[in-house]
Chains A and B, each alone.
Chain A
Amino acid sequence: MTTVSMTVNGKPVSADIEDRTLLVYFLRENLRLTGTHIGCDTSQCGACVVHVDGRAVKACSMFAVQAEGAEVTTIEGLAKDGKLHPVQEAFRENHGLQCGFCTPGMIMTAVDAIRRRGAMDRETIRHELEGNICRCTGYHNIVSSIEDASKKMSAA
């Protein structure tokens, strides 16, 4: 067992865990932050994407101990003071989800892509979504949501 400490959604957290604990299990089971989903568990689907020190990573492909001392943001940490993040708002406005299972990963991936690239065209958005799978195949509105958010956020 190892004591791991990190900041999750702005709050310091600490727990005794096995070294083999994946970050996604630490978030879901130790911290009860179940917005980060486990879809495939084989690093294909992107439902588990969170931000570690500002970069989108797959929480199923990283051990919690690797995030020792890191700043982690999950989908629960995006909305501020009861107000949705602009990407969340864009998904709501553009009906960017069907069943909603992939949505947390899609949104965390989109926030990171917009940070790096600013306003994006649809082809770039599809390239950025390479690692996120929507099994409802609802990509059209997901891409529209991200396009809308990237333009609004770049204009702001």
Chain B
Amino acid sequence: MIPYNFEYTRAKSLSEAQAMLAKNPDAKLLAGGQTLIPTMKMRLANPSALIDISKLEELSFIRASGDTLTIGATTKHGMIAASADVKRMIPALAHMASHIGDPAVRAMGTIGGSLANNDPAADYPAAALALNATIKTTKREIKADDFFTGMFSTALEDGEIITEISFPKPDRGGYTKFCNPASRYPMAGVFVAQTKNGVRVGVTGAGPGVFRVEAMEAALAKNFTPDAVANIAVASDNLNSDIHATAEYRAHLVTVMAKRAVEHALAA
């Protein structure tokens, strides 16, 4: 499959990428390309220009400082999965990264690209939401609670580029997903994170966008065990229904995955 033609430029710096984006609002940023390129091949996306930011060293790093883990936007999933700093600070995040796509996808795909795309079945949005991450851009800092605004939609404005993501170290974290056996995208994935300020639960794959489950968070804050969430069901009204699973089935999966995510957190 051949995409429509476009003009490719490799940005030499973040400021050059910003200037190129400002000049051509129709241009798209190319990071890992593991979603964008297949989408362009299907001719569902048709940008006139691609600005490749994948080689910008300034955006590719993992930094542990005190109780904060900061990851550059173009850091690849495989690097996050293998990082000693990530494994030490937030092992559940390394575990999650090691189960995105497949090894070849993890060698290319980036955390910033995944967050900016906000695929309703992507893994990182659940982690960012549950871990109360802060997404830093060329313009401002955005809390995860304000960043994800719906299916494939974020608070990012035109020309705004994600530069890094900061994660406060949780006391415990766990992630479990139930994958579609063919696409391997989660039909429901749940990230739980326990901190001194309470518990946060982020759900991906089940609805049109990532969301939190406050009833589970309150129950887990009192009693951080799988049993605490065993009888808490999410409403199926706004969940996805397709040939792979009905909304009711996905709602059931959320509870099951939440239990297993807590087990995962307790086992770590």
User: Which of A2, A62, A109, A112 is the one whose CB lies under 8 Å from B37?
Assistant: A62
**In the complex, which residues of chain A have a beta carbon less than 8 angstroms from the beta carbon of B1?**
41-42
Contact yes or no, A20 B104, CB < 8 A: no
Contact yes or no, B102 A61, CB < 8 A: no
Contact yes or no, B104 A57, CB < 8 A: yes
A73 to chain B minimum Cβ distance, whole angstroms, is 14
Contact yes or no, A46 B37, CB < 8 A: no
Q: A65 an interface residue at 8 Å Cβ cutoff?
A: yes
Contact yes or no, A131 B6, CB < 8 A: no
User: Which of B10, B30, B41, B104 is the one whose CB lies under 8 Å from A46?
Assistant: B104
Contact yes or no, B5 A61, CB < 8 A: no
Chain A stretch 54-87: residues in CB contact (< 8 A) with chain B: 55-58, 60-63, 65-66, 68
Chain B stretch 62-103: residues in CB contact (< 8 A) with chain A: 78, 82, 101-103
Q: B3 an interface residue at 8 Å Cβ cutoff?
A: yes
Interchain CA distance A71-B258 in the complex, whole Å: 44
Q: B159 an interface residue at 8 Å Cβ cutoff?
A: no
Q: A43 an interface residue at 8 Å Cβ cutoff?
A: yes
Contact yes or no, B104 A56, CB < 8 A: yes
Q: Chain A contact residues: over half helix, strand or loop, or mixed?
A: mixed
Q: Contact size class for A?
A: 20 to 34
**In the complex, which residues of chain A have a beta carbon less than 8 angstroms from the beta carbon of B8?**
2, 19, 63, 65-66
Q: A49 an interface residue at 8 Å Cβ cutoff?
A: yes
Contact yes or no, A41 B104, CB < 8 A: no
Q: A121 an interface residue at 8 Å Cβ cutoff?
A: no
User: Which of A43, A65, A128 is the one whose CB lies under 8 Å from B105?
Assistant: A43
Chain B stretch 27-51: residues in CB contact (< 8 A) with chain A: 30, 33-34, 37-38, 41, 50
Contact yes or no, B5 A18, CB < 8 A: yes
Interchain CA distance A112-B105 in the complex, whole Å: 13
Interchain CA distance A72-B204 in the complex, whole Å: 36
Contact yes or no, B6 A61, CB < 8 A: no
**In the complex, which residues of chain A have a beta carbon less than 8 angstroms from the beta carbon of B104?**
46, 49, 56-58, 61, 109, 131
Please list the residues of chain B having a beta carbon within 8 angstroms of any beta carbon in chain A.
Answer: 1-8, 10, 30, 33-34, 37-38, 41, 50, 52, 54, 78, 82, 101-105, 107-108, 184
Kindly list the 7 A-B residue pairs having the minimum CB-CB distance in the complex, ordered from nearest.
A131-B102, A130-B102, A19-B8, A55-B107, A58-B104, A65-B8, A20-B5
**30 A-B residue pairings within 8 Å (CB atoms):** A18-B5, A19-B5, A19-B6, A19-B50, A20-B4, A41-B1, A43-B37, A46-B102, A46-B104, A49-B104, A55-B107, A58-B104, A58-B105, A61-B33, A61-B104, A61-B108, A62-B33, A65-B8, A65-B52, A66-B8, A66-B33, A109-B104, A112-B103, A113-B103, A116-B82, A128-B103, A130-B101, A131-B101, A131-B104, A131-B105
